[in-house]
Amino acid sequence: MTHVLVTGGAGYIGSHACKALAARGFVPVTFDNLSTGWAQAVKFGPLVQGDLTDRAALDAAFREYAPVAVMHFAAASLVGESMSNPGKYWRNNVMGSLNLIEAAAAAQCQEFVFSSTCAVYGEQDGVVLTEASHKAPINAYGSSKRAVEEILRDFGVSHGLRSVIFRYFNVAGADPEGVLGEYHRPETHLIPVMLEAIDGQRPELVIHGEDYPTHDGTCVRDYVHVFDLAEAHVLGLEWLREGKGSQVFNLGTGVGFSVREVIGHCRAATGKTVPHRFGPRRAGDAASLVSGSHRAIDLLGWEPQRSSLRLMIRDAWHWHRNGGYSG
């Protein structure tokens, strides 16, 4: 059996990647502390409950399963929280990742797929971001991810570690078969919060700011379906398995949607009106982030299948109505 260690495999994106890995014949080994993930999402391979700050637990997992590669999703990822509690992001995201990278190097596991973010680019409004765009993160979340990218580069020089880094921003949707989906407690992401609002699970959606320098005053983001994102990560792993070198890829559609526009698409996809009100800006939010993906399309052969906004909302709505996880 060909094992792949998937950190954060009980979480939203990681669990979808595990399903995609299993479909390609890999056995995903989920390493997760279940602080934000769900044991019910681990359906395609074993679960090792552990924390990235525990080097002994990591070493034990590498000894037991001898993975051929690491797919690293585990991270604290709330922009607002990263502004108020940056220490958490440097400890969890940077120190935890360093532990993981050192454990992989010690185990001679030389292939590493890393889930980064377009937040490494910071505030660059009005442009489509490419992999060569200047990196100037404006929050601790983006800064912590940029730091891990630099660690991977250094371990490539010192230990021959080869890595594929994916930078993306807003992930949405759910498994088309309804097996997996987005389920955070509390929920903070726009589309599931909208669905909770229209379903009466919260009184309303609060839109953080209406005075941004965008066409309608609300933040603009590029959305990619979690199914397509998971497929890209498997393609990245296959790139490394073929002996190709380290590479960075942006993942997005190249099209941005404002919060107001997402609300309109939600109404069209569900037939329901989203109750909402405007609140103050949230610290650390850029006005516009749109990510180009030509390199992933050209080099990996990535072909997004489900990344229309209406389809992402429809899949998320189907998952939401099924009730998510519990526990």
List active site positions: 141
3-state secondary structure of 8: coil
Strand partners, 247: 164
3-state secondary structure of 27: strand
**Residue partners of 242: CB distance under 8 A and separation at least 6:** none
Strand partners, 72: 7, 114
DSSP assignment, residue 179? S
Q: How far apart are CA 21 and CA 233, in angstroms?
A: 9
State the pairing for strand pair 256-258/220-225. Answer: antiparallel
What tokens were used for 147? Answer: 């730091």
DSSP string spanning 121-132? G-S-TTSEE-TT
* C-alpha distances out from residue 135 to 50, 118, 147, 150, 227, Å: 32, 9, 11, 12, 27
User: Prior bond to 186 cis, omega within 30?
Assistant: yes
